[in-house]
Amino acid sequence: MMNFINRLKDIFSIEELKNKILLTIGLIAVYRFMAAVPLPGIDPLQLSALKESTSGGLLGLLNAFTGGAFARASVMALGIMPYISASIVVQLMGIAVPYLQKLQKDGESGRKKITQITRWLTIGITLVQAPTYITAIKTQFGLGPEAFLVSGATFWISSIIILTAGTIFAMWLGERITDKGVGNGISLLITVGIIANFPAAFLQEFVAKTTNAGAGG
């Protein structure tokens, strides 16, 4: 334990490293705060059905990657996943598209152009996924009409814009952590999101086992 404390003291004695760590913690805190903010027009007290519907399977995995934001109908509900999808698409296209192959060989300038292409593709993917997500929460995940405080085109347009802005903001946070923080910003956001679900999962498992033990006794 003392060795661990001494290592922490050594780390924070280096001014540049300390600033990077504090910046990273701050940006992650902002991301986690935003993940808890529901979309305008949705009653957060009515989201229990959505949480139950996304507790397992593929939806549960997606919810874990977004740090629970998917099940909260959060402004960060799509998280960083559209950016990851865009990155994969660009990498695969780099095998077959001559223009991207040329950019990959152009060094730093080519890398910047590929990053810009990835960003625009992220926006395109989000604009497709956002209305799909809204349709799902309105028709498939058990939310009743009382969960929606606003309806019609106003809710659809505002939600699509906000979900797209949320993904762009998450992408920006990840890039800032990579450039100014400790690095690997996108991976850190995903990791922290997954870890954030552990306490609730452990508590739920403990309560379930305690209840079963009490019923059995």
Residue 205 has a pLDDT of 66
Task: Write out pLDDT tens, residues 165-214.
Answer: 999 999 999 999 999 888 888 888 888 888 877 766 667 666 667 776 65
Question: How many domains does one find in the chain?
Answer: 1
Task: Write out pLDDT tens, residues 150-163.
Answer: 878 888 999 999 99
Answer whether residue 215 is part of any domain. no
Residue pair 63/71 in contact (Cβ under 8 Å)? The answer is yes
Map residue 40 onto helix, strand or coil.
coil
Answer whether residue 212 is part of any domain. no
Answer whether residue 88 is part of any domain. yes
Answer whether residue 196 is part of any domain. yes
Answer whether residue 132 is part of any domain. yes
Answer whether residue 210 is part of any domain. no
The whole model's pTM is what? 0.82
Map residue 38 onto helix, strand or coil.
strand
Name the band, by pLDDT with cuts 50, 70 and 90, for residue 117.
very high
Q: What are phi and psi of 148, to 5 degrees?
A: -110, 115
Domain at 163, CATH number: 1.10.3370.10
Answer whether residue 1 is part of any domain. no
Residue-number span of the structural domain to which 111 is assigned: 17-203
If one counts every other C-beta atom within 10 angstroms of the C-beta of residue 182, the result is 14
Kindly state the average pLDDT of the residues 29-56: 81
Q: What is the DSSP string of 43-109?
A: -GGG-HHHHHHTSSHHHHHHHHHTTTTTTTTBTTTTTTHHHHHHHHHHHHHHHH-HHHHHHHTSHHH
Residue found under tokens 């379930």: 208
Q: Angle formed by the axes of helices 15-35 and 2-12, to 10°?
A: 100
- Burial letters 185-207, b for 16+ CB under 10 A, else e: bbebbbebbeebbeeeeeeeeee
